[in-house]
Structure 1
Amino acid sequence: MKEKLVRVGTTYIPVTNIEQSSEWYTSNVGAVLTYKDQDKAILNLANQSMFLVKSKENQRANFIDSYGEERFSLTFEVDGLDALKAIHQEFTDKEIRVGEIEDRGHAGRNFIFYDIDGNKFDVWSELSPDFKGNSKSY
C-alpha cells in the first residue's frame, strides 16, 4: 500500500436533540456550525469536522473497557498546562460536567468533560508534535 491515512477528517457524535446539542457545542466549546437539518449538524471543531447525528436515547460515543470503566473515544489537545487549566476553569464556570485535572503518569495533564448527552471527552495539555510543528491554525 503506497498511500497512508493522513488524518482523521470527521468524527460522528450521537445526540438526542440536534438543535440543543448544536447550540451547546457552539456556545460551550467554540464549535462553528456549518450545516444543520433535523437529522444532523455539521460543526468545525478542533481542526476537524464533527457530525452530531440524531440517535436513540442512551446512545453515546463512550465505551466500557476490559476493567469495567467507561472510556472516552476522543481526546482534544491544548497547547500547554496553562491552556489546560484555563479551559478547565472556563468549562467549570459554564457548569459543564468536568473531572479534576489528572496526572496519568505520562507527559502532560488531562481532564475529562461531558456534553449534554453524556458523551465523554478527554482534554490533554500536550499538542502532538506533528501538529505543533506543521500547523499555524490553532
Structure 2
Amino acid sequence: MIYRIGTTYLPVKNVKDSATWYRTVLGAKQNYIDESKAILELANQSIFLVRVQDSQNANFFDWDGKEHFSLTFEVNGLEALKELHEKCSNQGVHVGEIENRGHPGRNFVFSDLNGNLFDVWSELSPDYKKRYDV
C-alpha cells in the first residue's frame, strides 16, 4: 500500500536562484544544494529542484489546450489563502485571481521563476486535519 508521495521533482533553469525563491516566497527549508539540484522541505514533502536544459517546466496542456498545473497546495481556510495570495502578490510573484470553481473553498494559481504553475486551495483534507490535529 502506498502511504504518501515522498518527493516531488521540479524542473528549474537556475538551481541557486530557484532555491532562494522557494525559501523566500514559500518558506521552504533547504537541506542540500549543488549545481544540478537542490533538496527542499515544503508542505511536509521533499521537493527536488532539478536543473534542466532550455525552458522545460512541470506544466501540461489539458484536452482543451489550456496549460495546467501539476500540484495543488492546501492552506487552512480562506483567510490563509488570502494572506498567501497577498504575500505572493507583494513579492512580485505572478498570481491569478482568487477563484470560485463551484466546489468547497477557493483557489488561485501562481507560478515560480521557471513558469511552473501551482494551485492553492483553501481547504485542508479531512484526513490531514485528523492526522495532524489541525
Q: TM-score range by the shorter chain?
A: over 0.9
Name 2:88's counterpart in structure 1: 91
Distance 1:38 1:95 in 2: 26
Name 2:71's counterpart in structure 1: 74
Task: Give deviations 1:61-119, integer Å, cap 9, x for gaps.
Answer: 00000000000000000000010001100111111000000000111000000000000
Distance 1:94 1:132 in 2: 29
Amino acid at match of 1:104: R
Question: Which of 10, 13, 35 matches 2:10?
Answer: 13
Amino acid at match of 1:21: S
Fraction of identical pairs, as percent: 55
Name 2:124's counterpart in structure 1: 127
Report whether the alignment pairs 1:37 with 2:34. Answer: yes
Question: Does the residue aligned with 1:107 lie in a helix, a strand or coil?
Answer: coil
Name 1:25's counterpart in structure 2: 22
Q: How many equivalent residue pairs?
A: 134
Q: TM-score, normalised by structure 1?
A: 0.95
Mind listing any 5+ residue stretches in structure 2 that lack a counterpart?
A: none
* Shift >3 Å, 4+ stretches: none
Amino acid at match of 2:105: G
Distance 1:18 1:99 in 2: 25
Distance 1:77 1:57 in 2: 30
Q: TM-score, normalised by structure 2?
A: 0.98
Mind listing any 5+ residue stretches in structure 1 that lack a counterpart?
A: none
Question: Which of 57, 61, 64 matches 1:64?
Answer: 61
